[in-house]
Structure 1
Amino acid sequence: MTWMETERAALVETFRRADPDAPTLCEGWTVRHLLAHLVQREHHPLRQAADVLARPRPGRERFLGRLVERARTPAGYAALLETFAAGMSAWNPVGWAGDRAHHVEYVIHHEDVRRGRGLVEPRVLPPDQVRAVWAELAPLARLGYLRSPVGVVQAVPGGPRRVVKRAADAVVVVGDPVELALHAAGRVDAADVDVVGRPQTVERFLRWSGPAEVARDGVDVS
């Protein structure tokens, strides 16, 4: 079983227990919206692309909205969840990239559901899965911090570190790999990280990475 499959199974159970109308960390999206997004991403990628290109307000997407409406009843929600739980068909090219394209995505969206009502105690993941999150995080981090006004280094306490943006002045974002993934994906308020560096450099970074920079969520872990 791949980490992508392991995390999907865990996320399915969280979706089963969650209130479909509860908020998530994704602005404008409830748990129902987030489940519909995952199904659309894996089964209707052209419709997802059309929604992204239209740039609607979150929660007002045309094609995503159709899936959400079909899932308004308990039976409709259960059916949508079963579609996600079944995974992608073998012919779907979206799934061919495996863990590298989907594992961190699922981890982040799992926390979007869990922490939507406020910071929740972090899950304890198997050490090998945590190492996998770290190994797969680099592309997301480079994209997430692309427009940072200062350099950015990610570091795990007592563990590895990587430069994700080079510059003369840099901050170090310190946290466990899941927290680093959340921060890089724009879930700044929910991520349990420390930002260290020269005071003026940290201030510039925090001004950029704060709530006003919510557009970084478009880094697509969506």
Structure 2
Amino acid sequence: MSWVATEQDALVRTLRSANPDAPTLCEGWDVRRLLSHLVQREQGPVDGLKDAVARRPPGQEPGLSRLTDRARSPYGYARLVDRFVAGAPRWSPMSWAAEKINFVEYVIHHEDVRRGGTSPAAPRDLPAAQQEAVWKQLGLFALSLRRSPVGVRLATPAGETRVAKAGDGVTLTGEPVELALWISGRREAAQVTVTGAPDAVEAFRSWAEG
């Protein structure tokens, strides 16, 4: 089984057992709305584009609101989970390129559900091969770090490293999933350490928080 299929199966189990009204790490989104996003992303790209153009605050997106409102009942929520299981149409890149497009997306949103709320779950003990699969895809996610005022290096406890921005600066150390969470903005929930010269760390943190 591919890693994207493995992660989708795990995410589906979590979604079925979660409280749909529980908060997630995504500002303004509860579990039900995050699930609506997953379905819209793969099966309703036009509505997703309309939501992006509308530029409404998180939790007020028109297209997502319609999906979310239809999933208010237990039956409606279960049906929405079933739609996510069905996945994107075969012609869609979300289907035939799912390993590259959806795998890390699923990992991040899975942790959004697991670690949201007042009693966040601990990081999962994932197989080393799955962490390695996330590591291999971090390059694209790390492009945003090129705007950092100092150099940035990514590192794992196993000793793997990758330069996100050349130059002296800071090192972000954590398991690949934790690094993916940090880079995508889930910084308080991510178990990542930032090290380097004090002035570099201060400059980097100021940039990251801004």
Normalising by the smaller structure, the TM-score range is: over 0.9
Task: State the SS of the aligned residue for 2:117.
Answer: coil
* Structure 2 gaps, min length 5: none
Q: Distance in 2 between matches of 1:164 and 1:95?
A: 29
After the TM superposition, list the runs of 4 or more consecutive aligned residues in structure 1 that deviate by more than 6 angstroms.
none
Report the identity percentage: 53
Q: Distance in 2 between matches of 1:34 and 1:146?
A: 28
Q: Distance in 1 between matches of 2:70 and 2:148?
A: 40
Task: State the SS of the aligned residue for 1:146.
Answer: helix
Pair 1:116-2:116 in alignment: yes
Pair 1:138-2:116 in alignment: no
What residue in structure 2 maps to residue 2 of structure 1? Answer: 2
Pair 1:83-2:67 in alignment: no
Q: Distance in 1 between matches of 2:172 and 2:40?
A: 32
Structure 1 residue 75: deviation in Å? 0.7
For the 8 Å contact 2:94–2:102, the answer to whether it is kept is: no
When structure 1 is superposed on structure 2, of 38-47 and 94-103 the one drifting more is 94-103
Structure 1 residue 126: deviation in Å? 1.4
Structure 1 residue 150: deviation in Å? 1.8
Pair 1:203-2:197 in alignment: no
Pair 1:68-2:61 in alignment: no
Structure 1 residue 206: deviation in Å? 1.2
> Superposed, which structure 2 residues align to 1:1-222 within 5 Å?
1-118=1-118, 119-143=120-144, 145-167=145-167, 169-210=168-209, 213=210
What is the TM-score of this pair, normalised by structure 1? Answer: 0.90
For the 8 Å contact 2:21–2:31, the answer to whether it is kept is: yes
What is the TM-score of this pair, normalised by structure 2? Answer: 0.95
For the 8 Å contact 1:12–1:85, the answer to whether it is kept is: yes
* Structure 1 gaps, min length 5: 214-222
For residue 5 of structure 2, what is the amino acid of its counterpart? Answer: E
Task: State the SS of the aligned residue for 2:147.
Answer: coil
What residue in structure 2 maps to residue 220 of structure 1? Answer: none
Task: State the SS of the aligned residue for 1:57.
Answer: coil
Task: State the SS of the aligned residue for 1:153.
Answer: strand
RMSD, aligned CA: 1.2
* Equivalent residues, number: 209
Task: State the SS of the aligned residue for 2:146.
Answer: coil
Task: State the SS of the aligned residue for 1:159.
Answer: coil
Q: Distance in 1 between matches of 2:21 and 2:65?
A: 14
For the 8 Å contact 2:15–2:81, the answer to whether it is kept is: yes
Structure 1 residue 155: deviation in Å? 0.2
Structure 1 residue 135: deviation in Å? 0.4
For the 8 Å contact 1:186–1:209, the answer to whether it is kept is: no
Q: Distance in 1 between matches of 2:9 and 2:204?
A: 36
For residue 59 of structure 2, what is the amino acid of its counterpart? Answer: G
Structure 1 residue 62: deviation in Å? 0.8
Cα 1:53–1:148, aligned 2, differ >3 Å: closer, same or farther?
farther
For residue 204 of structure 2, what is the amino acid of its counterpart? Answer: F
Structure 1 residue 208: deviation in Å? 2.2
Structure 1 residue 146: deviation in Å? 3.5
Q: Distance in 2 between matches of 1:85 and 1:96?
A: 15
For residue 163 of structure 1, what is the amino acid of its counterpart? Answer: V
For the 8 Å contact 2:37–2:64, the answer to whether it is kept is: yes
Q: Distance in 1 between matches of 2:202 and 2:65?
A: 39
Q: Distance in 2 between matches of 1:165 and 1:55?
A: 31
